[in-house]
């Protein structure tokens, strides 16, 4: 049977499809697989115990349980949760927002499907606009969400070498030119895949650029503050009428609940609400119910600061130590770990592409993600795109340690060939 152009577009070689397929197959096999590519968060015992207590309280209250699983939420999301979150953000940051400034979606991927197609592609005035990514590499999940195909423009970063094996990306503002076809500016903070945290100064300059261009400034805050707070450096959250702040419950430890959060001006929230109703009737309520009391009390912030952040920071530091043990004699660099749950590795002058390295590692049972998928909108030839990989350190210690050991062997053979 023939399928539409829409269907063919999404059946292609999408990086996010490859990533999730690898994840699903790895979990379904009996063979030993070192799953170091996907973004599944760790099951932090103290955090999961707190979620279980929340769920037990819901199960003990028949009325709450019935509302959670037996009723549709409003298309904007569970009303009680929206109120609790608005109160928390007003209390913590002084933001002048209410429930009318927040909408839930069925996960952050859905949020960005909505937002990017709201602000890129054909416009009623006949123009065709794009999303500006001022710092590539960026999140793999962005690349294929545009209904109109390639909807991104990206800029190369400045690269600063911090020591013999550590580097950092910065926004190269000289590479960003003002264009009439920009529909929105978007960054992730901390950045997926690199763990980079744009400085407060970089964020302020980008926000000002968006304001001057009269376009939204979208901040993907899936790993950021105030929750889940997987961020190892000082960074102030911002919100304003032209800022769209996207959050999630996934990296807090609830990816199965598929709860995305969009904070924006009322007009944008009305559009998101309409899209929810048309695409899925309503977003899921499970995540909102589980964390409602944690949000209302503010405990959700304490969980991020006191449990989630130190847990991941220790794991990042340990993984980097193992990388040095295995590869210090090789021309490798790791992006400074400032947040998120990944390490971004750069193998300078790698004799093979990162995709070939991915295939060789896969043969040894180690799953990573090749770097070229993380440069949507950067169409120019740049060898650096094919010298990088993303690995997660969120898995158990044995998986990460042995995966890094195998990685060292495979990379060394590539350089020695």
pLDDT at 68: 97
pLDDT at 20: 64
pLDDT at 23: 58
Any idea which residue has 């794991």 for tokens?
Answer: 315
Closest alpha carbon to 195 in 359, 319, 326, 353 = 319
Q: Go through 21-45 and write b for each residue having 16 or more CB atoms within 10 A of its CB, e for each that does not.
A: ebbeebeeeeeebbbbbbbbbbebe
What residues are paired with 161 via a beta bridge?
167
3-state secondary structure of 4: coil
**Omega prior to 382 cis, within 30 of 0:** no
Residues contacting 94, CB < 8 A, separation 6+:
none
Tell me the mean pLDDT per 10 residues along the chain, length 417. Answer: 77 62 59 84 96 98 97 97 98 96 96 97 94 96 87 96 97 89 97 96 97 96 96 94 97 96 98 97 97 98 97 98 97 97 97 96 94 93 96 94 97 93
Q: Specify the DSSP element, H or E, that contains 366.
A: strand 366-367
pLDDT at 44: 97
Residues contacting 253, CB < 8 A, separation 6+:
41, 42, 43, 44, 47, 48, 51, 228, 308
235, 204 contact by CB (below 8 A): no
Residues contacting 215, CB < 8 A, separation 6+:
119, 182, 183, 184, 185, 242
Domains of the chain: 5-47+303-416 (3.90.1150.10), 72-301 (3.40.640.10)
pLDDT at 239: 96
pLDDT at 28: 57
pLDDT at 45: 97
pLDDT at 86: 98
Number of Cβ within a 10 Å radius of residue 416: 8
């Amino acid at each position: 049977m023939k399928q539409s152009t829409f269907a063919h577009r999404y059946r292609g070689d999408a990086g996010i499809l490859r990533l999730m397929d690898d994840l699903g197959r790895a979990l379904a096999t009996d063979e030993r697989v070192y799953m170091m590519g996907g973004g599944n968060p760790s099951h932090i015992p103290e955090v999961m115990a707190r979620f279980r207590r929340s769920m037990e309280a819901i199960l003990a209250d028949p009325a709450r349980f019935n509302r959670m699983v037996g009723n549709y939420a409003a298309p904007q999301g569970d009303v009680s949760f929206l109120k609790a979150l608005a109160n928390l953000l007003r209390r913590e940051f002084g933001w002048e927002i209410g429930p009318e400034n927040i909408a839930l979606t069925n996960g952050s991927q859905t949020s960005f499907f909505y937002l990017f197609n709201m602000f890129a592609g054909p416009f009623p005035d006949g123009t065709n606009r794009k999303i500006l990514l001022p710092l590539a590499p960026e999140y793999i999940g962005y690349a294929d969400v545009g209904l109109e195909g390639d909807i991104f423009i990206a800029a190369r970063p400045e690269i600063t070498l911090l020591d013999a094996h550590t580097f950092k990306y910065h926004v190269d503002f000289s590479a960003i030119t003002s264009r009439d076809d920009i529909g929105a500016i978007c960054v992730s903070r901390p950045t997926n895949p690199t763990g980079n945290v744009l400085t407060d100064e970089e964020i302020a300059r980008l926000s000002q650029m968006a304001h001057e261009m009269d376009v939204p400034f979208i901040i993907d805050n899936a790993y950021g503050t105030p929750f889940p707070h997987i961020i190892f450096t000082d960074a102030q959250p911002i919100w304003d009428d032209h800022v769209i702040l996207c959050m999630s419950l996934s990296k807090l430890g609830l990816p199965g609940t598929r709860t995305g959060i969009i904070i924006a001006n009322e007009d944008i929230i009305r559009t998101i609400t309409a899209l929810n109703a048309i695409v899925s009737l309503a977003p899921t309520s499970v995540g909102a119910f589980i964390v409602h009391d944690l949000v209302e009390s503010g405990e959700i912030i304490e969980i991020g600061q006191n449990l989630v952040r130190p847990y991941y920071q220790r794991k990042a530091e340990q993984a980097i130590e193992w990388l040095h043990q295995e590869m210090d004699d090789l021309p490798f660099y790791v992006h400074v770990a400032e947040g998120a749950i990944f390490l971004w590795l750069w193998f300078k002058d790698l004799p093979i592409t990162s995709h070939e390295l991915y295939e060789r590692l896969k043969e040894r049972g180690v799953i990573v993600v090749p770097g070229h998928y993380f440069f949507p909108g950067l169409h120019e030839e740049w060898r650096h795109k094919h010298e990088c990989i993303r690995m997660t350190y969120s898995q158990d210690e044995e998986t990460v340690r042995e995966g890094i050991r195998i990685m060292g062997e495979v990379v060394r053979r590539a350089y020695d060939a």
